[in-house]
Amino acid sequence: MASIARSSFRLRSVTRVPTARSISTTPHLRAAAKPFFADEPAGPKLATAIPGPKNKAATAELDKVFDVRSLNMLTDYSKSIGNYIADLDGNVLLDVYAQIASIPVGYNNPHLTKVAQSPEMTTSLINRPALGNFPSADWADILNTGILKVAPKGLNQVFTAMAGSDANETAYKAAFMYYRQLQRGGPEKEFTEEELQTTMNNQSPGSPQLSIMSFKSAFHGRLFGSLSTTRRDAQEEQRCLQETERLIKEWHNPVAAVVVEPIQSEGGDNHASPAFFRGLREITKRNNVLFIVDEVQTGVGATGKFWAHDHWNLETPPDMVTFSKKAQTAGYYYGNPALRPNKPYRQFNTWMGDPARALIFRGIIEEIERLNLVEHTAKTGEYLYSGLQRLAEKYPEHLQNLRGKGQGTFIAWDTPKRDEFLGKAKGVGVNIGGSGVSAVRLRPMLIFQQHHADILLESIEKIIKQL
Amino acid sequence: MASIARSSFRLRSVTRVPTARSISTTPHLRAAAKPFFADEPAGPKLATAIPGPKNKAATAELDKVFDVRSLNMLTDYSKSIGNYIADLDGNVLLDVYAQIASIPVGYNNPHLTKVAQSPEMTTSLINRPALGNFPSADWADILNTGILKVAPKGLNQVFTAMAGSDANETAYKAAFMYYRQLQRGGPEKEFTEEELQTTMNNQSPGSPQLSIMSFKSAFHGRLFGSLSTTRRDAQEEQRCLQETERLIKEWHNPVAAVVVEPIQSEGGDNHASPAFFRGLREITKRNNVLFIVDEVQTGVGATGKFWAHDHWNLETPPDMVTFSKKAQTAGYYYGNPALRPNKPYRQFNTWMGDPARALIFRGIIEEIERLNLVEHTAKTGEYLYSGLQRLAEKYPEHLQNLRGKGQGTFIAWDTPKRDEFLGKAKGVGVNIGGSGVSAVRLRPMLIFQQHHADILLESIEKIIKQL
C-alpha cells in the first residue's frame, strides 16, 4: 500500500475581530421558547466541589484497569438529560462539549430510546453481520432511510466504517486505488505480476509512493495513515491557493487527493472563506486530484447547515465526504462509481461499520427533521454569537478572535489563560472544551436553545471575573 | 509517528499429513446430545437455487448505494437461528463461516437478546460516551465483569478499540511509544523541543523510523499501519527462529515489537508448534522487543482454549494481546503499566470502542461459561477432526494437509479445486469459507455440536463427489 507524505503549506486562518457596535448595555431577552426536553433541569446544579468524593473513588477504581489520565469526569448517564450531564456526586452541568462534539440530540433522548428498544436494534446487536459479505435484507433500506437520506448533494453512495479515523483512511485508500487505476488505464486493466509481487514487500509499483495532501493544523485521526495527515500545531500563516497548486504539480510523491476540514477543529477552530474552498475544489478538479472533505466534527448540523461544506456553494461536489461523531456511525460518501475499487475485497474488512449504530443515526436524523434542528441551530448560533460579541467588547483581554459567525453554534475564541478558563468552568456549572493551544471551543448539541445560551453567557462572564 | 517496515522472514508452516490409521470404515455415531438451541432446524433447508430470485432482486437494489461485489448472501437475520443462517428465498444453511469467524454463540441467542434489551444497553446506545474523557460510572464494572474477566493470564489492563485493525494499530502505537520511552531514559523524561518540532513533519527524532516485525502470510488488518504488517501471500517456507533474532538485531529500522497470529488465519491457516512460539517469546524478551499476539480471529474459544496462545504454556505472558471478532468489540490487553504512554492523550480517540458492544461481549462470556463452550468446542473439534481424517483417507486428492488437530474447531485443509468446492457448498446446505489460495477453513460457532459436525461431514462428502 502506498505510503503517505504531506505538504508543508498552511491553510490561511481567518479570525474575526469583534465589531465595535456597542450593544453590550442592551439587556438581552430571556428566550421563552419551549424546551425540547420537558424534564430538563432549569439550570446547572452544584452539589460538591468537582471532582467530588464519589467521582474520586470511582476514578481510582477505574485506574486499575483503564488509563484515566485523560479522564474529564466520570458520568452518571442515567441522570444526564438533554443538554445536562451529571456526575456521581449530584453535580449537573450544562454540557457544551457533548462528548467531543458527538452527541447531537441530547442525553436520554426519548426518540432514540425507542430506536434502542426496537426489534431491529436487537437483531443488529445480537446478529452482527460482516456487512460486505452478509448484509441483512434491510441494509439497503436502513442506508436509504438513514445515512443516505442526508448524503451531501451529488454523493449517493457510501462506504461504511467504524469511526472518524478509519472513515478517513478508507477514503484515502479509495483515492490511491482510483489514482493508480487512472494511471493503469482504467478499471478493466489487470494488475501486473510485478505489481502483485512488489506489493507484498511494500515496494513500487505494487505499493507506489503516493500522497494525500493535508493542511497545517489539520486533524484527521490518530491511526497510522490518518495520523500522518494530522498536525496539531497551532501556528498559522497566510499562504495562497497558488501554492497548493504548485505543490500538487511538484510534490515528489504524486498527490492522489487533498483532504481538508471545513473548520479545522482540533487544530484550534481555524476558519477559511467559502471562496478559499471553492478555489481548492477548482484546483483539485483542474489537476485530476480528488477532493476529500473531512466532516467528522463539522457535519450533522452544528454549523447551521447539515454539512458545513453546504456553506460553500460548490459548483461540483467533493469527491468524498467523511463523517462520524454526531452521526454515531462513520464512513465516507461518494458519487463517482469509479471510486469503487476495480475488484471486490480491495476495500473490505469484517464488520465495515455497525448496523446498530446506523440505526441510531437514522433515529438522530428523524429527530433533527422533527424538530427542525439544523435551522434551529443556525438561529441559536446567531443569538449566542451576539452575546459573545458583547462579552468580547466588555472583556477584550479574555475573549479574543471570536470566530464562527454564521456557522451555527460552532463557535470559538482565544483567551490567554485558556487552561485556567477551562479549569474553572465546572465550578460555575458548565462542561466546556478547548482546542488548539489557546482556543475555547463551543460544541453544544443541536437541541441547545436560547435559554441555554443565556446560562452559558452568564457562566462565561462568571469565569472571566474569576481570572 | 514512526513508520512501519517489516522483515522478510517467514513463519514456518506446519502442515499435517493425515495418519494412516484405517478408521474410515468405522461408522461414526450420531451424537444424541441435546441441542443448545431448542428451536434450531434439524438440518439445512434448500428452497431455491442460491442466490434465489428475492436475493437477486434485493442485491440489485443494494448495489445502487453499496458495493456488493464482495457480497456472499443477503441474510434474513430474523429467520437465522443458532448455527443456521437464512436468506430471503427460504434457504437455510448450516453456517460454519459465521460472519468471518465472528459469531460465537449463535444467531438470535436468547441470552444476548436479553442483554440487547436491557436498560444498560439502551443507555449505552443513546448516550455514547467519549470513553477516555467521560466514561460511565459503571465502566470499570463493565470491564471487570466482561472484557477483563477473560483477560489472558498475566494481562490485567485493556485499551478498548473498535475492530481488529485499530486494535492492532493502537497496540503498535503503544509499542513505539514504549520503545522511545526506554531510549529516552524513562517515562519522566520530557520530549525535547526538537522532537516536538520534527514530529510535525513526520521526521526523526520526533517521528523515528521504527519497525513492527511481522511474518510472511500474516494478516493483521487493512488500515495503513496494520496493512503494512499484512501479507496475503500463500507461499510458505521453513525458516528458523535464529533468523528472527538476527533480523531483530540487524534490521535497519529498530524493531519495537514482533506481532504474530497463533494460527495465520487469512493467510491460509498456517500453524506452528508451541515450541516455536515459546522460542519467539524468549527471543523477544532477550532483545527487549515487545511480543504482540494477534488473537483477533483465534481468540474467544474456537481453538478449544479461550485464547489460542493458552496452548503454548508460555513462561512469561505476551506483552499485548489483541482481540476482536467473536468478542464483538475490540482492543488490546496488557499487563505492564509502562505500556500506558507517559502522557495522557497520546493514546486516545473520541470513542475508544463502544460500551454497547462491550456489553454484548459480557453476555457472550456469560453464555460461554453457562454452557462450558470452550471445553465443548475442544471436544467437538476432536470429533470433527476425526471425521475429516476419515474423509481425507477416502478422498486424499480432495482433502489434503488437514490441520488444526487439538485446536478445537479451528480446522482447515487444502484442496486443488478450492473455489469450485466453496461454490458448491451452498447447494448442499452449508455456508463455508476459504482462506489463503487453496484452503477451506472451518469457523463454526462455539455452539457447534456433534450432530452439526455429522451434517457438515456428510455435506463435505457430497461436495467432493460433485467435483
Closest in B133, B166, B350 to A325, CB measured: B350
Closest CA to B80 of B363, B364, B431, B327: B431
CB atoms within 10 A of CB B185: 8
Catalytic residue among B19, B192, B316, B350: B350
Query: Using one digit for the tens of pLDDT, what is the confidence trace for B378-411?
Result: 999 999 999 999 999 999 999 999 999 999 999 9
Burial of A60 (0-12, 13-18, 19+ CB in 10 A): exposed
Judging contacts by C-beta atoms under 8 Å, the chain A residues touching residue B360 are 125-126, 128
CATH classification code of A113-371: 3.40.640.10
Catalytic residue check, A325: yes
Closest in B5, B144, B169 to A224, CB measured: B169
Per-position pLDDT tens, chain A of length 467: 233 333 333 433 333 333 333 323 333 444 457 889 989 999 999 999 999 999 999 999 999 999 999 999 999 999 999 999 999 999 999 999 999 999 999 999 999 999 999 999 999 999 999 999 999 999 999 999 999 999 999 999 999 999 999 999 999 999 999 999 988 888 888 889 998 888 887 888 888 889 898 887 788 887 676 766 665 435 433 466 888 898 899 988 899 999 999 999 988 998 888 888 999 999 999 999 999 999 999 999 999 999 999 999 999 999 999 999 999 999 999 999 899 988 888 888 999 999 999 999 999 999 999 999 999 999 999 999 999 999 999 999 999 999 999 999 999 999 999 999 999 999 999 999 999 889 999 999 999 999 999 999 999 999 999 99
Give residues 177 to 216 of A whose Cβ lies within 8 Å of B: 200-202
Please report how the helices A164-184 and B164-184 are oriented relative to each other, as an axis angle in degrees rounded to 10.
Answer: 100
Burial of A386 (0-12, 13-18, 19+ CB in 10 A): middle
Closest CA to A431 of A66, A68, A51: A51
Q: Where are the domains of chain A?
A: 53-109+372-465, 113-371
DSSP-derived secondary structure for B124-161: HHHS---TTTS-BTTHHHHHHHTGGGGPPTT--EEEEE
Query: Using one digit for the tens of pLDDT, what is the confidence trace for B321-380?
Result: 999 999 999 999 999 989 998 888 888 899 999 999 999 999 999 999 999 999 999 999
DSSP-derived secondary structure for A400-461: EEEE-TTSTT-EEEE-TTHHHHHHHHGGGTEE-EEETTTEEEE---TT--HHHHHHHHHHHH
* Three cell numbers, residue A393: 467588547
Q: Does B113 touch chain A (CB under 8 A)?
A: yes
Q: Evaluate whether B264 touches B296 at the Cβ level (below 8 Å).
A: no
Helices and strands counted in chain A (H then E): 14, 13
Confidence (pLDDT) at B237: 33
Provide the 3-class DSSP secondary structure of residue B162: coil
Strand B211-213 with B157-161, pairing: unpaired
d(CA B223, CA B330): 15
d(CA B68, CA B65): 9
Provide the 8-state DSSP code for B407.
S
pTM: 0.90
Give residues 337 to 376 of B whose Cβ lies within 8 Å of A: 340, 343-345, 347-351, 354, 356-357, 360
Catalytic residue among A9, A159, A215, A219: A219
Judging contacts by C-beta atoms under 8 Å, the chain A residues touching residue B162 are 162-163, 166
Residue with cell 494530522: A230
Catalytic residue check, A294: yes
Model-level ipTM above the cut of 0.90: no
Q: Does A130 touch chain B (CB under 8 A)?
A: yes
Give residues 57 to 86 of B whose Cβ lies within 8 Å of A: 58, 61-62, 64-67, 69-78, 80, 85
A107-A146-A83 Cα angle (round to 5): 15
Catalytic residue check, B325: yes
Q: Smallest CA–CA separation between B340 and chain A, in Å?
A: 7
Same fold, B53-109+372-465 and B113-371: no
- Please state the φ and ψ torsions of residue A81, each to the nearest 5 degrees: -150, 135
DSSP-derived secondary structure for A115-161: HHTSHHHHHHHHS---TTTS-BTTHHHHHHHTGGGGPPTT--EEEEE
DSSP-derived secondary structure for B367-387: HHHHHTHHHHHHHHHHHHHHH
Confidence (pLDDT) at A228: 66
* Three cell numbers, residue B321: 494481546
Q: Smallest CA–CA separation between B378 and chain A, in Å?
A: 24
pLDDT, averaged per 10 consecutive residues of chain B (467 residues), comes to 32 32 35 80 97 96 93 96 98 98 98 98 97 94 96 94 92 92 88 88 86 84 69 46 88 92 92 89 94 97 98 96 96 93 88 95 97 98 98 97 96 96 97 94 98 98 96
Q: Does B231 touch chain A (CB under 8 A)?
A: yes
Judging contacts by C-beta atoms under 8 Å, the chain B residues touching residue A338 are none
CATH classification code of B53-109+372-465: 3.90.1150.10
Cβ of A74 within 8 Å of Cβ of B221? The answer is: no
B295-B134-A165 Cα angle (round to 5): 50
Residue with cell 474552498: A277
